[in-house]
Structure 1
Amino acid sequence: MLYHLLYSLHTTFSALNVFRYITFRSIGATVTAFLLVVWLGPRFIRWLQARQIGQVVRSDGPSSHFSKQGVPTMGGVLILAAMVVSTLLWADLTSGLIWLLLGICIFFGMIGSIDDLRKIRKQNTRGLSARGKLVLQMAGASMVGLYILLHPEYDGTLSLPFIKNFHPDLGWWYVPFAVMVIVGASNAVNLTDGLDGLAAGPVVISGGVYLIFSYVAGNAVVASYLQIPYVQGAGEVAIFCGTIVGACLGFLWFNAYPAEIFMGDVGSLALGGTLGAVSIIIKQEFLLAIVGGIFVLEALSVILQVGYFKISGGKRIFLMAPFHHHFEKKGWQEPKVVVRFWIISIILGLIALATLKLR
């Protein structure tokens, strides 16, 4: 909105020419989303408390988590609202990619909000059924697949980190692949959201890395030089990634240990789904497995735990899954687990950025 209102006046006021630059608008979107969350956070927390919208803690979890019962949840509503408002203010609203990402963000947020509200209403950890949630997630992710089908500039080729001249073409199979990436990312972030600040931190790092990759992918000259796929209009995606970074940084202001609010499924499902959608749109699908390595490990720990439990007749690999709880069971304090996972995320983010040159 600001782009359309102010840039059109740049011939009269030359200073407004700055709105043409994606770098400036990305910074503006990041700061705006951050300030919105920090400003609205205390009011939103009080509103949730007044309506008793609080966290429901699993009875078989670590005993240290029992004190979290009743802490305001569904903070993801605040994150998504800040992202949407900031995107509308700073992005080029003629971009189809922006509206696609907003649609994915809102749709996955709605799935998460239904799940959260059912848990709160029933006062247990069971919300939507696993099958029902998966069907809804696949339906939402199909929006990206449909977009790819309708736009000839996209194809089924894959871009692999560290590999320059190998681009396998999945053809029509790329669409279910895209759905799998988006749904997998959504659930992986959801599984990671189990400790104060644990999910928000890696999301900030992942969003920052994809901001850089989106900007590069949208510049034909730079993309050619770095030998990554050029995607027309991907520069605007960098602005959307900036809102992810800013909103989650603002949320960490209140979500850091001891948390005053949790993002709930409305936040984790939406953030994971949008990160997956960004990776598909800018053709950096496998990069998500690197920069979002913490999310991948958390999801794998649950898959391995459940699988081994079934085939071994009740034995476990981890003391508890997702595996951040394993370290709690081993005696690590919650802040130590979170900060160490953040450190790993930063290292993985740097490795992901290194793939720009190591090909």
Structure 2
Amino acid sequence: MLYMLVSHTIHDGHVTLLNLLRYISFRAGCACLTALGVSLMLGRPFIAMLRRIQRGGQPIRALGPERHLVEKAGTPTMGGVLVLIALSISMLLWGNLENGFVWAVWLTTLGFGAIGFADDYRKLARRNTDGLSKKARLGSEFALSLLCGIWLQYLMPPELAGQLAFPFAKDLLLPLGPLYPLFAMIVITGFGNAVNFTDGLDGLAIGPVVTAALVFAILSYLVGNHVFADYLQVHAVPGTGELTVFCAALVGAGLGFLWFNAPPAAVFMGDTGSLSLGGALGSLAVAIKHELVLCIVGGLFVAETLSVIIQVGWYKRTGRRVFLMAPIHHHFEKKGWTEPTIVIRFWIISIILGLCGLATLKLR
């Protein structure tokens, strides 16, 4: 909003402080601080409202670790709404609302948040852990992701539309053509659910999400700038530099939520938060042609998802378990690790993976 105001009212040659709003880096910093401030300011009254409305808080899964039934009982959920509010207010103020990439990623994030909200609401209304049916939930996610993939493919420059880029090699492109939206659908839906699997301990999911958002803020800025993209030998995607502002707002909103989600959590993000944040990361990766790099940066989410797939698949085949409990963070709980130990060590792993993702910029 502010960017549009400046761009339409200030003509070239007029040097004012408002000209700072033309710079992505300046608006990204403001977006981060705004989202952080909104989260911190609204956090306590928002959580108090959730407690009044939800009463018993989030239903705790009976098949999970036994201590969760006692320690986490009564904690309200749907904290992801706070993240989405802070993100949206920040984007309305500092984002370029004339940029198609911003709208595609933003609306996909809100759409996944709406699916998660419906799932959370159903659990609260029924006072059990059965949310939306798998068909309804996955069907909605696939449909939304497919639309996002088609939209982003339309926004791509012709030479990159329908192409899958590979890290470590600038000239290696896999032409997927009309199948590309289906690939984008798998990436976006996959990461939406991967973050959902990871969200099982206080602060566990939001920390790696903030790390990944920070990495993608850097990647978006570089990919959206022809000079930097040519120097680093990455595929330039004009217009995606504006996603830096989105990523920065996501970092601020995530940090603000972490203030209240740190152990012991005053609120859970719920599926509202985990699905929307995963959808945001997936759509960001598709927009800047770094889908495979997301698998590195978000490697922790990939590992959590694989642990569930391996556990379920092996158990159905042999009747035995590979892990003491899946997702894998519960395996370490069963081994005696304390919750803060697991969370902090997983954060460290996510930071290392984030640095590895950035390293792909030079290893070409």
TM over 0.5: yes
1:335 alignment counterpart: 340
1:4 offset after TM fit, Å? 2.1
2:40 alignment counterpart: 38
1:208 alignment counterpart: 214
- Matched residue SS, 1:165: strand
1:49-68 correspondence to structure 2 within 5 Å: 49-52=51-54, 54-66=57-69, 67-68=71-72
1:162 offset after TM fit, Å? 2.0
Amino acid at match of 2:63: D
Of 38-47 and 94-103, deviating more is 94-103
Amino acid at match of 1:62: P
2:193 alignment counterpart: 187
1:246 alignment counterpart: 252
Alignment match of 1:124 (pick from 110, 114, 128): 128
Paired with 2:72 and 2:152, the residues of 1 have a C-alpha distance of: 42
- Aligned 8 A contact 1:159 1:228 in 2: no
1:13 offset after TM fit, Å? 5.7
- Matched residue SS, 1:229: coil
Instruction: Note if 1:167 corresponds to 2:182.
Output: no
- Matched residue SS, 1:164: strand
Paired with 1:140 and 1:124, the residues of 2 have a C-alpha distance of: 27
* TM-score w.r.t. length of structure 1: 0.97
Q: Percent identity?
A: 53
1:82 offset after TM fit, Å? 0.7
Amino acid at match of 1:127: G
Paired with 1:6 and 1:228, the residues of 2 have a C-alpha distance of: 31
- Matched residue SS, 2:90: helix
Instruction: Note if 1:146 corresponds to 2:147.
Output: no
Paired with 2:283 and 2:63, the residues of 1 have a C-alpha distance of: 34
1:163 offset after TM fit, Å? 2.6
1:199 alignment counterpart: 205
- Aligned 8 A contact 1:101 1:278 in 2: yes
Amino acid at match of 2:68: H
Which consecutive segments of 4 or more residues in structure 1 shift more than 3 A? 6-13, 148-152
- CA deviation string 1:79-136 (max 9, x = no partner): 0011111011101111111111221011111100000011111111110111211100
List alignment gaps of at least 5 residues for structure 1: none
1:318 alignment counterpart: 323
Paired with 1:3 and 1:251, the residues of 2 have a C-alpha distance of: 26
- Aligned 8 A contact 1:97 1:237 in 2: yes
- CA deviation string 1:44-90 (max 9, x = no partner): 01000111251111112112211212201100001001111101110
Paired with 2:15 and 2:156, the residues of 1 have a C-alpha distance of: 39
Alignment match of 2:112 (pick from 105, 108, 117): 108
Amino acid at match of 1:233: G
**Count of aligned residue pairs for this structure pair:** 358
List alignment gaps of at least 5 residues for structure 2: none
1:7-46 correspondence to structure 2 within 5 Å: 8-9=9-10, 14-46=16-48
1:12 offset after TM fit, Å? 5.2
- CA deviation string 1:254-289 (max 9, x = no partner): 000000001000010011011100000110000110
User: Is the alpha carbon distance of 1:149 and 1:6 closer, same or farther for their aligned partners in structure 2, counting shifts above 3 Å?
Assistant: closer
* TM-score w.r.t. length of structure 2: 0.96
2:224 alignment counterpart: 218
Paired with 1:180 and 1:140, the residues of 2 have a C-alpha distance of: 11
1:50-89 correspondence to structure 2 within 5 Å: 50-52=52-54, 54-66=57-69, 67-89=71-93
Amino acid at match of 1:23: S
Paired with 1:50 and 1:206, the residues of 2 have a C-alpha distance of: 33
